[in-house]
C-alpha cells in the first residue's frame, strides 16, 4: 500500500495529504517495529475507549431475536 501511494503523485498535492501520508507511514513503521521485535508473542489489544466509540456491533445474534419472536406466536397457537 505504501509503495502504491508513493507511486501516486496525488499525495504531493496538498500539505494535508502529505501530513496524512506521513502519519500513515509512521504508524506503519511503528507497527512493523513492534511485530519485528516481539514476533508472535505479542497480541495488540484495542483500548476500551475505542470500543465505546464504535457503538454496538452487528454480530451474528442480530437475527436470532426476530426468529425467536416469530416462533413465539406459532408456539402459542399450538397450546
Can you give the pLDDT at residue 79? 46
pLDDT tens-place string over residues 29-51: 998 888 888 776 656 666 666 55
What is the C-alpha to C-alpha distance for residues 59 and 44, in angstroms, rounded to an integer? Answer: 22
pLDDT tens-place string over residues 7-19: 776 667 788 888 8
What is the C-alpha to C-alpha distance for residues 54 and 52, in angstroms, rounded to an integer? Answer: 6
DSSP element (H, E) containing 20? helix 15-38
Banded pLDDT at 27 (limits 50, 70, 90): very high
pTM for the structure as a whole: 0.40
The full set of domain ranges for the chain reads: 1-52
What is the C-alpha to C-alpha distance for residues 72 and 53, in angstroms, rounded to an integer? Answer: 35
Res. 53: pLDDT tops 60: no
Amino acid at each position: 500500500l505504501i509503495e502504491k501511494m508513493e507511486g501516486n503523485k496525488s499525495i504531493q498535492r496538498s500539505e494535508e495529504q502529505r501530513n496524512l501520508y506521513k502519519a500513515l507511514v509512521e504508524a506503519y513503521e511503528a507497527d512493523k517495529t513492534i511485530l519485528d521485535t516481539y514476533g508472535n508473542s505479542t497480541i495488540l489489544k484495542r483500548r476500551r475507549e475505542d470500543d465505546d466509540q464504535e457503538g454496538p456491533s452487528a454480530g451474528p445474534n442480530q437475527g436470532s431475536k426476530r426468529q425467536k419472536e416469530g416462533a413465539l406466536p406459532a408456539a402459542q397457537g399450538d397450546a
